[in-house]
Structure 1
Amino acid sequence: MENTGLTAYKKAQERVRRIKGFYKHLTAYLIVNTIIVIEGLRGIGILEMKMNDLDPAFLEWLFWNVLAVPVLWGIGLLFHGLRVFGPQMKFVKEWEENQIRRWMEKEEGPRWQ
């Protein structure tokens, strides 16, 4: 009996550690990417003002590279969040059960309630 409680405690402790790791990742994402976007766009603006003979294609490339970092990192963050919260998302499970029940009622009548 005591071993079961210890196992449950260890599982809960690991879950909290994973959630905490996700929130640290989210915080780093927000701070770093805010700085990258603000400073990157400001830098592009300075380049446009100071250098008249700058190739517009280079500026466009630079602009998309500034935006690519938050987008790509955001995709990684999304997968991290799905790994941490995915299987335990209660509303998804409830939605699935409601859909199954609804389709079964359509196919075989209201006896599945």
Structure 2
Amino acid sequence: MKNKSSMELTSESEKYIKAQQRVTEIKQFYKHLVLYILVNLFFIGRRIYKDIKYGDSFVEAFFDMDNYHFFFWWGIGLLIHAFNVFGKENLFSKNWEERKVKEYMDKN
């Protein structure tokens, strides 16, 4: 039979592993978000520049929806990724509110 100390240690190490996995998931999402922003700014900027070079005004090039297709479709993938990472917490549920209150109380 395991003693109480051994069970607590196992429980604490399991909590640590789960917390570490959660942090890794969040970190991967933020890396995905940064990559999304940088790559899309580059490609959208390049497309706008090309449109201007071929005779469109800046306003016409900026509001040309063809320049944003890649941005839109990858954005849907990013939203799905965000839901997979943050949707697990059942945002705005009573449990979430209690955790956030406790988190802010612990900080102060």
TM-score bracket for the superposition, by shorter chain length: 0.5 to 0.7
Alignment partner, residue 78 of structure 1: 79
| Greater relative contact order, per chain length (Cα 8 Å cut-off, separation 6+) | 1
Residues in 1 aligned to 2:24 and 2:88: alpha-carbon distance in whole angstroms: 16
Structure 1 Cα separation of the partners of residues 54 and 40 of structure 2: 20
Distance (Å, rounded) in 1 between the aligned partners of 2:89 and 2:80: 14
- Cα distance in structure 2, aligned partners of 1:69 and 1:5: 44
TM-score, normalised by the number of residues in structure 1: 0.65
Query: What is the TM-score when the length of structure 2 is the normalising length?
Result: 0.68
Unaligned 5+ segments in structure 1 are 50-59, 95-113
How far residue 38 of structure 1 moved from its aligned partner, in angstroms, is 1.1
CA-atom RMSD, angstroms?
1.8
| Alpha-carbon separation, structure 1, partners of 2:91 and 2:52 | 46
* Alignment-derived partner of residue 48 in structure 1: 55
Amino acid at match of 2:14: T
Aligned equivalent of 1:32: 39
Separation (CA, whole Å) in 2 of partners of 1:36 and 1:42: 10
Identity of aligned residues (%): 34
Deviation at 1:82, TM superposition (A): 0.4
Runs (4+) of structure 1 exceeding 3 A deviation are none
Q: In structure 1, what is the Cα distance between the partners aligned to 2:49 and 2:75?
A: 22
Q: 1:64 Cα shift?
A: 4.2
Structure 2: where are the runs of 5+ without partners?
A: 1-7, 95-108
CA distance in 2, matches of 1:31, 1:23: 12
Secondary structure of the 1:48 match is: coil
